[in-house]
Amino acid sequence: MRASRTAPRPGERGFSLIEIMVVVMIIAVLIGIAIPVYLGARSRSQDAKAKSLISLAVKAQRAYLTDNKRYTTDEAALRREVTQQISFVSTTPAQGSSEVQVTVGDVSATAPDQLVCMAVVSQSGTTFTIKDMATGADSGTWYLKGADATACNTSVAGYSRSW
């Protein structure tokens, strides 16, 4: 038995090929706008997570400094100062991990272990570095986006007081 085609009822008709193509083009334009916005928001979120992690590491270092009058690279000592799971390492941290690179330096010969540099790499691949000096002309916290803490010295060239 063959299926018979019935004629459309009066007032009913399908979509034309042009109408369907216009709808598809509108959807494609909306997707073309939405994807970059989503990816940008995702990258900013990953960077915010890394900044939060390194800020907690700075708080741990400051708490240690208050108690011991110097900064440290001792992971066990620093982990006692924070409740979050942070791994303090001496090498470049893994991208998107909870690792924070810690390097301790001297502000001067009379001020040993009064400088700490910390770096973290976000999931998006951006490196955030904080340099904290307890003493000296440039004492305080300095921020740098896009470099690591391997050169932990008193120079604040390229650093700023905020992100």
Q: Is the pLDDT of residue 4 over 80?
A: no
Q: In this predicted structure, what is the pLDDT of residue 81?
A: 87
Q: In this predicted structure, what is the pLDDT of residue 83?
A: 76
Taking CB atoms within 8 Å and a gap of at least 24, the contacts of 77-83 are 78/102, 82/56, 82/57
Which three-class secondary structure state does DSSP give residue 60? helix
DSSP state for residue 1 in the 8-state scheme: -
Q: In this predicted structure, what is the pLDDT of residue 152?
A: 82
Is 39 exposed, middle or buried (CB count within 10 Å of its CB: 0-12, 13-18, 19+)?
exposed
Domain-by-domain residue ranges, the chain? 24-145
Instruction: Tell me what percent of the residues of the chain surpass a pLDDT of 70.
Output: 90
Q: Is the pLDDT of residue 20 over 70?
A: yes
Q: Residue 10 is which amino acid?
A: P
Q: In this predicted structure, what is the pLDDT of residue 15?
A: 86
DSSP secondary structure, 99-163, as one string = EEEEEEE-SBTTBTT-EEEEEEE-TTS-EEEEEEESSSTT-EEEEEES--SSS-SS--TT-BS--
Question: Does the model's pTM come out above 0.85?
Answer: no
Q: Average pLDDT in the 60-84 region?
A: 91
Q: In this predicted structure, what is the pLDDT of residue 146?
A: 83
CA distance 96 to 125: 8
Q: Is the pLDDT of residue 127 over 70?
A: yes
Q: What is the pLDDT of residues 39-62, one digit of tens each?
A: 899 999 999 999 999 999 999 999
Q: What is the pLDDT of residues 76-125, one digit of tens each?
A: 999 888 877 899 999 989 999 999 999 999 988 888 999 999 999 999 99
